[in-house]
Amino acid sequence: MKKIFLLFFVVCTQVSAQNKTAQKFAATITPDDLKAKLSVIASADMEGRETATEGQRKAAAYIEAYFKKLKLLPGDSGKYQMSFPVLQDSVENASMSLNGNSFELINDFAPNSGFPNGNWQLNEVIFKGAGTKDSTQNNDSIKVANKWVMIVPAVATTSSMRMLSQTIRLANEKAAAGLLIVTDDFPFKRFTPKGRMYLPASAAKPFPVMFISKKVAAEILQTDTSNINASFQQKTYAANINVSLQKITNNLQSTDVIGVLTGTDKKDEYVFVTAHYDHLGKRDSVIYYGADDDGSGTTSVLQIAQAFAVARDKGFKPRRTMVFMTVSGEEKGLWGSEYYTNHPVFSLDSTSVDLNIDMVGRIDPTRTYGDSLNYVYTIGEDKLSSDLMKIEDSINNTYSHLELDRKFNDPKDPNRFYYRSDHYNFASKGVPIIFYFNGTHADYHQPTDTVDKINFDLMSKRAKLVFYTAWEMANRDAMLKRDIPLTQK
């Protein structure tokens, strides 16, 4: 009995010591330090950090310099920045006519990224409602192969391209000739002669996607604009449409920034802490600062990296290798994380977890229950690994005492947040993930998402939770189990 008690006492003492050690280094994640770094990341000098722009390059240089200051190792063959190619079209001429009536670029139609050069004659269009695979209104008896398809998506705005990407991919997989997406965004204020950026993979097999106004849609469907919605009758509609596009393509590039802290006895296994540092850039002279989205996540990664570096310098290196990665291209369609997971530097099979931080500095005004100053949405810990939720609950109960709100894990969540940030590219490769998120707000994707609106006390609590989780993941005996099948889109 004495031996059992002694063993219990030793284990409790070790756990207590480990807890105090983690708390010591978590204390280096302070509101003041977070504010100082975010004030740089989300400053006017960074010009909104749009992918493949000077502002993004400035932000990448700042992050690289900080990783060097922490004496992290470069994550890509001696380089801190992993480059990936980006293309951007400059439209020289575009026209559309329908049943003898001419329509105007910007006011009535706009080609999407990757729309190929050429001329098209459309004699018919198939209307497919909302266009989603799981739509109850989607009539799969209407075959779309080699046909142009028109849809009215549930979120019919060009600012929601990430949510539309599934529909575009599905139409391409079903061998449609092209896709017409009806939106309310006309006049198309975002359209410039230099169009949306896109990845070379998109250009390998060009798939024509055109945004059209309800005015154009009404002409095709021979109805009034007020009738244009997903419930309109699905069938094939005759139309005499001519589309012409001439453009040139510019070769650009962007980067992910990777800093590495090598582990000890399990150094060939990895724990990732990620965030995207890009945002929407500038529209004319208006800067979209992206303080919360995702300057808050980027700054949190830097502070968590600092906490691990301080621990290393005090003789507490992690058992597993820590990889701190800030990616670009998220706002364009999760590009940077997609590029990394398709070209991994460190084995994804040996990557225990990705802890992804995307918006942790604000409060969700729609969350009318619980303590608004002591919560975080956690997403994805119910997927891929049965270890994750138990570990996260234990860590939170031990250290952070935040309200872990898991409402967005609901498979019926219309926001589909699980699929909308960089963790998903890790999850799609089988890597367990947790996504930390504060929810959206009125300043989401607006130029008013500024540093002065960040709650740094709450942000530091959330960043500390991620640190404690990373600390546990890096030092536990076993990698996370992968015993739950991936939920497909």
- Per-residue pLDDT, averaged over 355-376, amounts to 97
Which CATH number does 25-86+252-475 carry?
Answer: 3.40.630.10
Tokens 């929407």 identify what position? 280
φ, ψ of residue 158 in degrees (nearest 5): -70, -20
Local confidence band at 134 (pLDDT 50, 70, 90 cut-offs):
very low
Compute the half-sphere exposure of residue 62: CA atoms within 13 Å on the CB side of its CA.
Answer: 23
- Does residue 173 have a pLDDT over 90? no
CA distances from residue 66 to 114, 279, 402 in whole angstroms, order as listed: 36, 20, 29
CA distances from residue 73 to 80, 131, 350 in whole angstroms, order as listed: 8, 46, 19
- Per-residue pLDDT, averaged over 347-359, amounts to 98
C-alpha closest to that of 19 among 477, 468, 480: 468
Query: Over the stretch 320-335, which tens digit does the pLDDT of each residue have?
Result: 999 999 999 999 999 9
Local confidence band at 163 (pLDDT 50, 70, 90 cut-offs):
low
- Does residue 12 have a pLDDT over 50? no
Query: Over the stretch 58-110, which tens digit does the pLDDT of each residue have?
Result: 999 999 999 999 999 999 999 999 999 999 888 889 999 999 999 999 899 98
- Does residue 199 have a pLDDT over 80? yes
Compute the half-sphere exposure of residue 433: CA atoms within 13 Å on the CB side of its CA.
Answer: 28
Residue-range domain boundaries for the chain: 25-86+252-475, 90-250
Tokens 């604009």 identify what position? 225
Query: Over the stretch 382-438, which tens digit does the pLDDT of each residue have?
Result: 999 999 999 999 999 999 999 999 999 999 998 999 999 999 999 999 999 999 999
- Per-residue pLDDT, averaged over 31-51, amounts to 98
Name which of 206-220, 305-319, 327-341 the model is least confident about: 206-220
CB 382 within 8 A of CB 389: yes
The CA distance from 356 to 437, in Å, is 9
- Does residue 133 have a pLDDT over 90? no
Radius of gyration of the chain (CA): 24
Sign of CA pseudo-dihedral 349, 356, 421, 373? positive
Distance of CA 297 to the CA centre of its chain: 11
The CA distance from 239 to 229, in Å, is 19
Which CATH number does 90-250 carry?
Answer: 3.50.30.30
CB 437 within 8 A of CB 380: no
Q: What is the mean pLDDT of the chain?
A: 90
